[in-house]
Amino acid sequence: MRPAIFVLLFVLLNPLHARAEPARGTIRSIPSANEISISETAQGSFQPGDLLLIRDQVQNEILGYAEVTSRSPESPHILARVRSHSNNGLIRVDDAVESIDLSDFEKSKDQMSQGRHDLVIHGKRFISSKYKPQVYLGALTGQTAATLESGEFFVGLALLGYGLGETLQISTQPFLNILGETNLQLKWQAIENEDFRISFGAESRYNLDYKRAIGSFSVYWDTFSNSKFLTYNQLRITTGESELYQRRTSAEFSVNYGYITNRWNRIIFGPNIDIQEETLGGLLSYQWVWDHFHSALTLQARDFTNLEFGSEGYLVYLDFWWRI
């Protein structure tokens, strides 16, 4: 009797232990390239809006996501739209599907035991940041081609942002505002597919003390090398005059590689070229990603040949931000 009581108390006091198994089903047909028809293992398991994992029937590898779009009482099958699809395998009839809750990493970590860039998903605001594309690489590195979700806030020491839509984002750098240089940036994501995403950014700054304006135009493009590596490219052209920007026109080009760990944290590294100054720099950064909070420890060099610590040489800094 006593062992049974102890087992009951353990289950009641440890909800993670008593976590329900995901609902499961099987693909019965593929009506189109981005639509699948599913039969449920248990009737009524899947509802419209549910997010599903698609698993290979042989190796059990995750092939991508599908979202339930409709179910009909007249039909035993449910229709779902394929949200993303890995290039490493084909979705076929008899592949398995299972429900998943991505709002909390603790709820989903058993199903998502291996971090992969091809399983990062855009267009779902209330999921854990573990599974969202990175929109920001750090205070001195800047942004990526990804945008915030519609209605999502970005709050950090070096950037405040808001998602105006799934492809449009507005942001400002609060530190520059404090220094007297008001600034505003818009970023628009033009293209996103399974191989790359491309965005364009425009920024305006105005120095209140010196009454000088500066503008910049940026092109961001992220390319997917494989499931573990992603490349963040950025070309930025700046023109105008301000106390912080002595040259009338400058250009910078950076290529950063993003490696995703099995715990869904990120390692960022790569070179940066200042075309006008003819200097080569770069960075190495480790980003810890939680459901909303991010932290990054970064070593960055403005110029590899300048072996001093400072704004023109090497910097080590800790950055952190929230996505809410």
Q: How does pLDDT run across 170-226, given as a tens digit for each residue? A: 999 998 888 888 999 999 999 998 889 999 999 998 888 777 888 899 999 999 988
Residue at which a domain ends, from 100, 118, 139: 100
Q: Are 46 and 71 in contact (CB under 8 A)?
A: yes
Lookup result for tokens 């709820």: 107
Residue 119 lies in a domain: no
Can you list the positions of beta strands (E) in the chain? 24-32, 35-40, 51-55, 62-71, 77-85, 96-99, 136-138, 142-143, 153-156, 160-163, 168-172, 181-192, 196-207, 212-224, 229-240, 249-260, 266-274, 279-289, 293-301, 314-323
CA distance 121 to 280: 33
* Cα angle, residue 136 at apex, residues 135 and 140 outer, rounded to 5°: 160
Q: Are residues 82 and 219 in the same domain?
A: no
Q: Are residues 178 and 307 in the same domain?
A: yes
At 287, give phi and psi (nearest 5°): -110, 125
State the CATH number of the domain containing residue 94.
2.40.10.170
194 or 284: which leads in pLDDT: 284
State the pLDDT at residue 101.
Answer: 95
Q: Is 316 helix (H, G, I), strand (E, B) or coil?
A: strand
Lookup result for tokens 């942002």: 161
Residue 5 lies in a domain: no
* Local confidence band at 17 (pLDDT 50, 70, 90 cut-offs): very low
**Sign of the dihedral through C-alpha 87, 286, 199, 100:** positive
Domain that holds residue 35: 21-100
| pLDDT exceeds 70 at position 1 | no
State the pLDDT at residue 203.
Answer: 93
pLDDT tens-digit map of 130-172: 999 999 998 888 899 999 999 999 999 899 999 999 999 999 9
Q: Are 271 and 252 in contact (CB under 8 A)?
A: no
Q: Are residues 255 and 292 in the same domain?
A: yes
Give the containing element (helix H, strand E) for 5: helix 2-13
Residue 50 lies in a domain: yes
Q: Are residues 66 and 134 in the same domain?
A: no
| pLDDT exceeds 90 at position 83 | yes
State the pLDDT at residue 212.
Answer: 81
State the pLDDT at residue 290.
Answer: 97
79 or 17: which leads in pLDDT: 79
pLDDT tens-digit map of 104-138: 999 999 999 999 999 999 999 999 999 999 999 98
Q: Are residues 298 and 172 in the same domain?
A: yes
**CA dihedral defined by 90, 96, 100, 105, rounded to 10 degrees?**
-70
Residue 281 lies in a domain: yes
Residue 180 lies in a domain: yes
* Local confidence band at 256 (pLDDT 50, 70, 90 cut-offs): very high
AA letter at 265: N
At 131, give phi and psi (nearest 5°): -105, 5
Q: How many residues does the chain have?
A: 324
Question: Residue 131: which residues within 8 A CB-CB, separation 6 or more?
Answer: 102, 112, 119, 120, 121, 124, 264
State the CATH number of the domain containing residue 223.
2.40.160.40
State the pLDDT at residue 308.
Answer: 83
Residue at which a domain ends, from 80, 100, 120: 100
Q: Are residues 55 and 182 in the same domain?
A: no
pTM: 0.84
Q: Are residues 88 and 226 in the same domain?
A: no
Q: Are residues 85 and 140 in the same domain?
A: no
Q: Are residues 221 and 292 in the same domain?
A: yes
Q: Total domain count for the chain?
A: 2
Q: Are residues 90 and 135 in the same domain?
A: no
pLDDT tens-digit map of 41-78: 988 889 999 999 999 998 899 999 999 999 877 777 89
Q: Are residues 258 and 167 in the same domain?
A: yes
Which of 7-16, 48-57, 237-246 is modeled with the greatest confidence?
A: 48-57
pLDDT > 70 fraction of the chain, expressed in percent and rounded: 91
